[in-house]
Chains A and B, each alone.
Chain A
């Protein structure tokens, strides 16, 4: 029970995170790919920041913001009655920010690489922007969108620093697989740590294999 529960929590966190990134990251990526806004590079830099920032730094700032004295934390506490830090919801907020570039960058590249002539053709055939997106842009960018979804999922699965800073280590609530592994090593329980590590390795590898196979099929279909 103690072994599966951190793993389940990790999978749940990764699914919720990559789902949210799909919902919010895709419009952001669409904007980045098509805007002529001159300060776009600033937004791009902010999106890319989690790649270079030490997770503990991101976690620290999030802790300040989401803690009971932070502005978002205070608002959340008033709204729900419990703090955002040291909760699953807090982990979701942290993970979404932490994995943002791993979803948005592939999304942006994929949307931006769709041939503009096709978009122009769609427009001149009378299609609305909405129809052009769902019928042309999205299907043609699908391989990149799948990649972004998978990368953000895998990245969240392996997340350590942000979770530790923001969620602590509460079994069943915020103790994810990677934290549990660290914990077990600290307690010299190498056997459990080994099992957990192998499971995580298996999941990550299987996911990447699945994604690559899926992408190959999609690309093949487009040719």
Chain B
């Protein structure tokens, strides 16, 4: 297997901000996550060769695709980088089969036919082989486009929200085929999405981009549980966000005591680079808070708060409680089973249990 790691380190001015993007990818699936306009597509365009960065370097294995220092900028057609976006961009005057074999025209007839036939079979589009793109559905078009890209045996695969126009069933079918292929070939794959759920399900590694920079890199769970801005926290599912004042820091314990603004409610949070008296914003996921009907003892969690259930709302698949601790309202998600088991109802006194490390600091 000749394909190896991808190294990207590029700078380029964009309209709103400067792209300053630096990351590496092994033979793995890496999700490039960010709001629209964060510069994700620009990064892919630079790697594919459609745009030229202003400076930096892009290396794919042993090959240098772009280097401002060495004055190298390999032509798109020589990069061996597969690119698939939301639009299948099939050639309208060619049949599905002709579309798929387009990148193989230099191969001998027999080999070309063998590769096209196996792609038709793999993507279950054999029946469409002689159809023109206009005659087949959007999902089928995207399958043909994927097959057309993969038969060329690219050494890197760039996917720019390729399945966002498709329904869930079709999406998971295509993803399966795609991931099987990736595992077989061990080719690095960059998958752009702005859908967090997709990011969770796709990969063990997520790069978060914001304003042209990679601001986080890690497992989805870690990346998304370290929100940097209040806006991101809201979209990332942090239902509980409080302003607070640091009361005391405990460097030896690795914790801090924070008082929720305007109340006497104290929360024990992880130690951050803050001093007593400073303001902070705290965020907690509704799903990370436990509920107990008796005060738990012998438990590692540092926050055990007495409260009263205000409302219970049945959501699809789970139950949302609003619990008042003094004047502070918490949003808590539990399962329907837990609700029945504990016999919870509005007005009932409960205890909320919050682990120190379930509390995240937001950038202010």
Known: A125-B148, A126-B103, A223-B134. A118 touches B89 (CB 8 A): yes
Chain A residue with the shortest CB-CB distance to B98:
A135
Docked CA distance A27–B330 (Å): 70
A127 pairs with B87, CB closer than 8 A:
no
Chain B residues with Cβ below 8 Å from A120 are 50, 76, 83, 89
B48 within 8 A of A: yes
Chain A residues with Cβ below 8 Å from B134 are 222-223
Within 8 A of B (CB), among A89-132: 115, 117-118, 120-128, 131
B93 pairs with A222, CB closer than 8 A:
yes
Docked CA distance A127–B77 (Å): 6
| Interface size of B as a range | 20 to 34
How many A-B pairs have beta carbons closer than 8 Å: the answer is 56
Chain B residues with Cβ below 8 Å from A54 are none
A124 pairs with B81, CB closer than 8 A:
yes
Within 8 A of A (CB), among B64-86: 76-83, 85
Contact string against B for A residues 127-154, beta-carbon threshold 8 Å, 1 for contact and 0 otherwise: 1100100011001100000000000000
B298 to chain A, nearest CB (A): 61
| Interface size of A as a range | 20 to 34
B200 within 8 A of A: no
A36 within 8 A of B: no
Known: A117-B87, A127-B103. A222 touches B92 (CB 8 A): yes
B152 within 8 A of A: yes
Interface SS of chain A: helix
Chain A residues with Cβ below 8 Å from B76 are 120, 123-124
Known: A122-B102, A135-B102, A223-B134. A128 touches B77 (CB 8 A): yes
Docked CA distance A121–B92 (Å): 12
B269 within 8 A of A: no
Docked CA distance A118–B93 (Å): 11
A221 within 8 A of B: yes
Known: A122-B102, A126-B103, A131-B105. A140 touches B92 (CB 8 A): yes
B22 to chain A, nearest CB (A): 24
B242 within 8 A of A: no
Within 8 A of B (CB), among A41-88: none
B89 pairs with A125, CB closer than 8 A:
no
A123 pairs with B93, CB closer than 8 A:
no
B231 to chain A, nearest CB (A): 32
B91 within 8 A of A: yes
Docked CA distance A118–B92 (Å): 9
Docked CA distance A124–B83 (Å): 7
B141 to chain A, nearest CB (A): 12
B193 within 8 A of A: no
Docked CA distance A223–B132 (Å): 8
Among A115, A125, A128, A140, the residue within 8 A (CB) of B149 is A125
Chain A residues with Cβ below 8 Å from B49 are 124
Docked CA distance A136–B93 (Å): 8
Within 8 A of A (CB), among B181-223: none
Among A127, A139, A140, the residue within 8 A (CB) of B102 is A127
A140 pairs with B93, CB closer than 8 A:
yes
A162 to chain B, nearest CB (A): 38
- Name 5 A/B residue pairs within 8 A (Cβ), A-sorted: A121-B89, A124-B76, A125-B149, A126-B103, A131-B105
Docked CA distance A136–B270 (Å): 60
Chain A residues with Cβ below 8 Å from B81 are 124
B152 pairs with A125, CB closer than 8 A:
yes
B93 pairs with A221, CB closer than 8 A:
yes
B43 to chain A, nearest CB (A): 15
Within 8 A of A (CB), among B11-68: 48-50
B80 pairs with A117, CB closer than 8 A:
no
Docked CA distance A117–B102 (Å): 15
A209 to chain B, nearest CB (A): 24
Docked CA distance A122–B90 (Å): 9
B28 to chain A, nearest CB (A): 22
